[in-house]
Amino acid sequence: MLKKFYPNSFYFLIILLIINTSSCGPSKGYLAGASAYQDKEQLWDPAYRIYHLSDNVTRFYFIIPPGDILYVRNPNTYKFEASAEISYKIISSKNTPIETGTVKIDKSEDKIPIEALIGYFDIDIPNGDYYFAKVIMDDKLRKKQFTEILTINKTNNSSQENFIITDTTNRVIFLDYINPNEKIKISSERIMASKLFITKYNLDDSFPIPIYIEKEIKKNRIKMDTSFSVLSDQYITLKEKGIYLISKDSASSVGLSLFNFYDGYPLIAQKENMAPPMRYITSDEEFKSLEIGSESSKLKTEQLWTTMSSSLPTTEKQLVTYYKRVQYSNIYYTSDKEGWKTDRGLVYTIFGPPSNIYKNTKEEKWGYGLENSTLEFNFTFIKNRNILSDNDFVLIRDRNKKEIWQKAVEYWRKGKVFGEAEIIRLQEEVDRQRNNQNNYWYPSYRGY
């Protein structure tokens, strides 16, 4: 079924990077090839926000960053034109097809836009079940696709998809991260209440354990701080750091979670945010010496980076790559903690984008380098039940990955960027010597 595209507005994306660089987000599908999770173009992918208008109708808001849709000048009209399609397939929890359709997007502009394109389309989805949506944005001129697998909860009118967030210009906010001074309005078509109930939880500042330590991971119990109510549809500011659960009443334990980590999140917008992600490549003593929170922390962090390489260009390359990965993790892997502090953020920061990814609603499997190598670089993440986040995945840890982890950390500490090229080189070396039990390349580093 062909649906009409309704433009909502244009939204200017201001990307405050600590370094002048860019990267591209993931192509998350059930199956994705080598193009998945690459960081060569820009940081943002097309994104979607699901909003239930009624028991039978669900609205899909979408945002397409300017770098993800190609504009080409028409030689006859001298206009810059873009052509894309968003196709979708909705499946019930019992694997029953519900709806398929296509939304056409044709744009003609006097000049190439620097703003993201925002719009929406409505789909008839019955109440009372969980659904999965496979959504593909196809740029016809560039011949590039972005695939996303979305979960839809229409079992009740209390889930996060029954809320929509807008700013003071009535633009839809696609991310669940809020800044301390940002005014937002939380609305709902299905919750007929004059007030909304908000519970504030303290942030989880713990770090994930290394990938090779096999033990049961007990999630830190996030402590409730305060609770209060606000009038529906009024503009509010959530100034204090924390996680805010918005629900229809005080008896409800589900709702919309909003995260206030620091001003500028999910980007490393301030130099004082540079020190904490160093935890993965520093020893306990080195990390303690950074004196996080002190006036000297920024300088100490910069000095530590310079000691890891022999030249300024090498240091700059390290900084660019490392903090791009941290920012990327914040955007895509945030759960009830900052994205780089999650298990997926841990793996992505150190190893970079996987070569292949398999994803469904219960797990993600990442593969690095050569698929049939003796030295396997594979990671499996299992979805974890979490009332504050639907994006919480736990890594299945493996003691056999200790040497892999140490090798990657050693690369970083020697001023080198660890990624797919290094992984393939190691795999080829191990394959050549797979009968040699002397694993001479294993380092002796015993840090984190």
pLDDT at 435: 55
Give the residue, 379 or 362, on which the prediction is more confident. 379
Q: Which long-range contacts (CB under 8 A, 24 or more apart) does 361-370 make?
A: 361/132, 361/149, 361/151, 363/393, 364/393, 366/37, 368/420, 368/423, 369/420, 369/423, 369/424, 369/426, 369/427, 370/424, 370/427, 370/428, 370/431
pLDDT band at 295 (very low <50, low <70, confident <90, very high): confident
Q: What residues have CB less than 8 Å from 260, skipping those under 6 apart?
A: 177, 178, 179, 180, 238, 239, 240, 241, 242, 243, 244
pLDDT at 34: 30
pLDDT at 5: 58
pLDDT at 16: 30
Q: Which phi and psi (to 5°) does residue 198 adopt?
A: -120, 125
Sheet containing strand 356-359, edge to edge, reads 31-32, 356-359, 363-368, 377-383, 393-395
Q: What is the pLDDT of residues 217-233, one digit of tens each?
A: 666 667 888 999 998 88
Q: What is the three-class DSSP state of 56? A: coil
Q: What is the pLDDT of residues 344-367, one digit of tens each?
A: 999 999 999 998 888 777 889 999
Q: Sort strands 97-109 and 2-3 into parallel, antiparallel or unpaired.
A: parallel
Average pLDDT, the chain: 84
Residue 207 has pLDDT above 70, yes or no: yes
Q: What is the pLDDT of residues 16-63, one digit of tens each?
A: 333 333 333 333 333 333 333 444 445 678 999 999 999 999 999 999
CATH class as words, domain 1-155: mainly beta
Q: Which phi and psi (to 5°) does residue 10 adopt?
A: -105, 140
Q: What is the pLDDT of residues 141-185, one digit of tens each?
A: 999 999 888 889 999 888 899 999 999 999 999 989 898 889 999
Give the residue, 313 or 435, on which the prediction is more confident. 313
Q: What is the pLDDT of residues 55-104, one digit of tens each?
A: 999 999 999 988 889 999 999 999 999 999 999 999 998 889 999 999 99
Residue matched to tokens 């044709």: 106
Domain residues of the chain, as ranges?
1-155, 271-432
Q: How far apart are CA 348 and CA 28, in angstroms?
A: 14
Q: What residues have CB less than 8 Å from 220, skipping those under 6 apart?
A: 204, 206
pLDDT at 224: 85
Cβ atoms 158, 152 nearer than 8 A:
no
Cβ atoms 248, 255 nearer than 8 A:
yes
Q: How far apart are CA 151 and CA 394, in angstroms?
A: 18
Range 428-434 average pLDDT: 82
Helix axes 420-432, 402-413, angle to 10 degrees: 130
Q: How far apart are CA 155 and CA 385, in angstroms?
A: 17
Cβ atoms 137, 145 nearer than 8 A:
yes
pLDDT band at 374 (very low <50, low <70, confident <90, very high): confident
Determine which of 97-111, 128-142, 161-175, 421-435 has the lowest per-residue pLDDT on average: 421-435
Q: What is the pLDDT of residues 231-284, one digit of tens each?
A: 888 899 999 999 999 998 888 888 999 999 998 899 886 777 899 999 999 999
Give the rounded percent of residues in the chain with a pLDDT score beyond 70.
85
pLDDT band at 4 (very low <50, low <70, confident <90, very high): low
Q: How far apart are CA 127 and CA 268, in angstroms?
A: 40
Cβ atoms 187, 166 nearer than 8 A:
yes
Q: What residues have CB less than 8 Å from 436, skipping those under 6 apart?
A: none
Cβ atoms 32, 359 nearer than 8 A:
yes
pLDDT at 1: 58
- Tokens, residue 321: 């790559």
Phi/psi region, residue 447 (left: phi>0; alpha: psi -120 to 50; beta: rest), is: beta
pLDDT at 133: 93
pLDDT at 448: 52
Cβ atoms 126, 56 nearer than 8 A:
yes
pLDDT at 395: 96
Residue matched to tokens 């000095």: 303
- For residue 91, how many other CB atoms are within 10 A of its CB? 17
Q: What residues have CB less than 8 Å from 295, skipping those under 6 apart?
A: none
